[in-house]
Structure 1
Amino acid sequence: MGKLVVTTFVTLDGVYQAPGGPREDTRDGFDQGGWSVPYGDEDFGRFVDEVFSRVGAFLLGRRTYDIFASYWPKVTDPGNPVAGKLNALPKYVASAGLTDPGWAGTTVIGGDLAREVPALKERTDGELQVHGSGALVRSLFALDLVDTLHLLTFPVVLGAGRRLFPEGSPPTALRHTGGRITSAGVSVQSYDVDGRPRYGEYALPESS
């Protein structure tokens, strides 16, 4: 049985929207896309390669799937560790509207995530990886389906954009399992998900 691993990029103020390019996601008039690009050095690339070396299948939201499907099938270099895995391994896209995906190896799941995602984990060897897909990630956290989170925080503040964990997100307890800072200043932190916080265990003693 595989585990569900989320890898996501955020700014210091928690924005996940459009890290890769100016036209990637312009919802709500967002015009600061591409904020992660200046920080993609060799150190950052090594971490990404490590993540993709463990993947068994991909689970993506519709928007991220469309972005990936417009680019990665065109990358045919067999030595590319990202393109090789994305093009060869099973891809599951959570969508109520996609009916005829053109990217080989894609299966649409449009039903109950609480039922479908555990079934995907059960039949995946290695990690069932989620990249980007902010709205899907929030749903997976709300359903307690995430096992591990790789959170990459970039040293930039945007002041606008969609946030990964906006107000009203369900409480989640995370246990830090490792981390580092890339040479360009990206904080790469890994967490296992421990479920809901147990507030009572951390209460301060009453003052006398």
Structure 2
Amino acid sequence: MSGILSVSAFVTLDGVMQAPGGPDEDRDGGFPHGGWSVPYFTEDLGAIIDEQFAGFSAFLLGRRTYEIFAAHWPHITDEEDPVAAKLNAAPKYVASRSLDRVTWHNAQLLSGDVGRAVAEVKEGTDGEINVQGSTDLIATLQRHDLVDRYRLVVEPVVLGTGKRLFAEGTAPAALRLTHSRQTAGGAVYCEYERAGEPTYGSFDLDTYEERMRGIRGTGV
């Protein structure tokens, strides 16, 4: 039994994922753009997110995201709300060096080395473990090459500052686009899965001409 670890994120065209949901969500570094994602949230995007949540088996959260979620979602008791129902019922693993306990139903605090602890969670989980928010945690997971899938909502805005999805030190990896869909608000939902290691080439004159002959099939 081994689970798949996925990362869900709202990102700008320049890769920022900090504080998409509100001005006070994450002001680290004096970030002035909190809530930038809200104008692009449309009914069809909501349906995509509902569909995602239906397939998750467990969640992995950093401290800040855990505290935001735990203060909100337990109060949403509508069983017809697929996001609330799944978050409140499913196992939740919390990676934090500062918390000494977690009280949300079915939540468990991870201890020790985060990379090792998450690898053990993956080995013991049948299904998809999803990371919501948790920018700093994502960076740690990327350095340990633990992310198998990205579920990204790419939104048509550039901020120029803020925490980015792929931070310095991310382990190199090739990805394969497995699904994409444009929403009514102009956002694009994209799913990417790991596809081994990066490959490299060259566009110097000789290799460019050879490559173009292969692509065109003209023999010119």
Normalization by structure 2: what TM-score?
0.87
Work out whether residues 5 and 129 of structure 2, in 8 Å CA contact, stay in contact via their aligned partners in 1.
Answer: yes
Could you tell me which runs of 5 or more consecutive residues in structure 1 were left unpaired when the two chains were aligned.
none
One-letter amino acid of the counterpart of residue 66, structure 1 = E
Could you tell me which runs of 5 or more consecutive residues in structure 2 were left unpaired when the two chains were aligned.
208-220
* Distance of 2:30 and 2:148 partners within structure 1: 33
- Please name the residue that 1:69 is paired with: 70
SS at match of 1:163: coil
- Please name the residue that 1:110 is paired with: 111
- Please name the residue that 1:48 is paired with: 49
Percent identity of paired positions between Structure 1 and Structure 2: 52
The verdict on how the C-alpha distance between 1:140 and 1:97 changes in structure 2, with shifts beyond 3 A counting, is: same
- Please name the residue that 2:88 is paired with: 87
Rg (Cα) greater in structure: 2
Give CA deviations for 1:143-164 in whole Å, capped at 9, x if unaligned.
Answer: 1111111121111111221112
| 1:160 and 2:158 are equivalent in the alignment | no
One-letter amino acid of the counterpart of residue 115, structure 2 = A
- Please name the residue that 1:101 is paired with: 102
* Distance of 2:75 and 2:115 partners within structure 1: 33
- Please name the residue that 2:190 is paired with: 189
SS at match of 1:207: helix
- Please name the residue that 1:124 is paired with: 125
Give CA deviations for 1:73-131 in whole Å, capped at 9, x if unaligned.
Answer: 11111111001011111100111111121212111113223322222122223211111
* Distance of 1:34 and 1:114 partners within structure 2: 30
* Distance of 1:167 and 1:100 partners within structure 2: 31
Q: Tell me how many residue pairs correspond in the alignment.
A: 206
Root-mean-square deviation over aligned CA pairs: 1.7
Work out whether residues 145 and 171 of structure 2, in 8 Å CA contact, stay in contact via their aligned partners in 1.
Answer: no
One-letter amino acid of the counterpart of residue 156, structure 1 = V
The verdict on how the C-alpha distance between 1:89 and 1:168 changes in structure 2, with shifts beyond 3 A counting, is: closer
One-letter amino acid of the counterpart of residue 144, structure 1 = D
Q: How does 1:23-42 map to 2 (within 5 A)?
A: 23-42=24-43
The verdict on how the C-alpha distance between 1:145 and 1:169 changes in structure 2, with shifts beyond 3 A counting, is: closer
